[in-house]
Structure 1
Amino acid sequence: MKSDTPPFLSAIGNEETAQLPAARFPGEIVVVDDVRAIRAACAELAAEPVIGFDTETRPSFRPGVHNRVALLQLSTPRRCFLFRLCAVPLAREILRILENKRILKIGAAVSGDLAALHELRHFREGGFVDLQSIVGEWGIEEKSLRKMSAIVLGCRVSKAQRLSNWEAAKLTEQQQMYAATDAWSCIRIYERLQRVPKPKKAIIHDKSQSLSAKR
């Protein structure tokens, strides 16, 4: 079913976004920093049809210095697993999740996250959905997770912990909540979009792009 009226705003300002209630992951956060916990975590994730996906890397404030990815977040609606890749390997069990085409992994700007993971180990990813690539079908022009969440969910995803030390000996509660909320919000945005009809204008735009590509 298509609608003439755009279901969402196309864009939103920083001030309006800042006034929205903060998004907070309501489930259990599980920090995986021991190889013995990887198998059980992945077994639970493998049973889910849709999971949220994100990564975090310790920021570098020196030109030319690049740090490896330190954290992989994989979230179900009820539980978010934080794999500390600075402490545990990108194990085969985790790769099976990332390669499984039947498990949808929802993220934002996933190409950068995947490139960072490929620096640790080669794998053939499958089943990834990048919110940045699909929100335009609903007339949304914003691409940041913060703005997409504001438009689609009416809540604000905090970025206060983004530049914190993700390789610290122990993650703070604030870091854990930030990381879990990012991955979980991707699921919520995706599921909300799937319940809302796409506006006709977006469909027409997609067709015109397709015709141009054929030429």
Structure 2
Amino acid sequence: MFQESITKEELDELPLKSFEGEIVLVENERTLQAALSYLSQSEVLGFDTETKPSFKRGQVNRVALLQLSSGEKAFLFRLNVTGLPAGLKAILSDPDILKVGVAIRDDVKALQRLGHFKPAGFVELQEEVKDYGIQDFSLKKIAGIVLGMRISKSQRLTNWESDGLTEAQQRYAATDAWVSYEIFHSLAAKQS
């Protein structure tokens, strides 16, 4: 059904894709309420976080960005500006809204350091793809194997706490959450 792994050379041959839907930057109460209203109606959301990289031993930064994406919209929550609002905690605790991503355990722990919530409805794609014989577990490689596309990781080590996020940072962040959403739906379609 799917190949077990993918080489760097095979990945490089695939078309480069990124999220093409609407990106909503959430950094104030007005955009927060609109985002929560939309997201609370969702059944499945792609999930990811970004943290400003630390280049000093022992220094760990707080998570700065939470990305939640449907197929059409990606919401980028500037947690370094807003903190972790109660409405967002409610979505992260809702078992009826699936939040799908890769390597989510550490992301959830980092979010819990901003504010306590009981995580529910999280789906770890690294576990899901094992059922399909896939042995490569990075988001980039899973996207290559399952979706036949390549995603850019060039913005990963940028400053996620800067005053404003560049268009490239926003597109990168939205793409990471959206790709998880697309992988989940692609795997679900294979089961039916």
Match of 2:160 in 1: 166
Matched position secondary structure for 1:80: strand
AA aligned opposite 1:84: R
Match of 1:155 in 2: 149
AA aligned opposite 2:35: A
AA aligned opposite 2:19: F
The alpha carbon displacement at 1:197 in A equals 4.1
1:53 equivalent in alignment to 2:47: yes
Q: Distance in 2 between matches of 1:134 and 1:41?
A: 28
The alpha carbon displacement at 1:75 in A equals 0.7
Q: Distance in 2 between matches of 1:71 and 1:140?
A: 29
1:141 equivalent in alignment to 2:135: yes
Q: Deviations over 1:140-163 (max 9, x none)?
A: 001000000000000011110000
Contact 1:150 1:156 in 2 (8 A): yes
1:19 equivalent in alignment to 2:10: no
Aligned residue pair count: 192
Contact 1:50 1:187 in 2 (8 A): yes
AA aligned opposite 2:33: R
1:73 equivalent in alignment to 2:89: no
Matched position secondary structure for 1:195: helix
Unaligned 5+ runs, structure 1 = 1-6, 199-215
Q: Mapping of 1:2-13 within 5 angstroms? A: 7-13=1-7
Greater radius of gyration (CA): 1
TM-score (norm 1): 0.87
Q: Mapping of 1:186-201 within 5 angstroms? A: 186-197=180-191
Match of 2:26 in 1: 32
Match of 1:83 in 2: 77
The alpha carbon displacement at 1:186 in A equals 0.3
Q: Distance in 1 between matches of 2:2 and 2:49?
A: 27
CA RMSD across the alignment: 1.0
Match of 1:128 in 2: 122
AA aligned opposite 2:93: E
AA aligned opposite 1:183: A
Q: Distance in 1 between matches of 2:50 and 2:29?
A: 19
Q: Deviations over 1:48-82 (max 9, x none)?
A: 11011000000000100000000000111111000
Percent of residue pairs bearing the same amino acid type: 48
AA aligned opposite 2:178: W
The alpha carbon displacement at 1:35 in A equals 2.6
Unaligned 5+ runs, structure 2 = none
AA aligned opposite 2:63: V
Q: Distance in 2 between matches of 1:20 and 1:174?
A: 20
Matched position secondary structure for 1:160: coil
Q: Distance in 1 between matches of 2:26 and 2:191?
A: 38
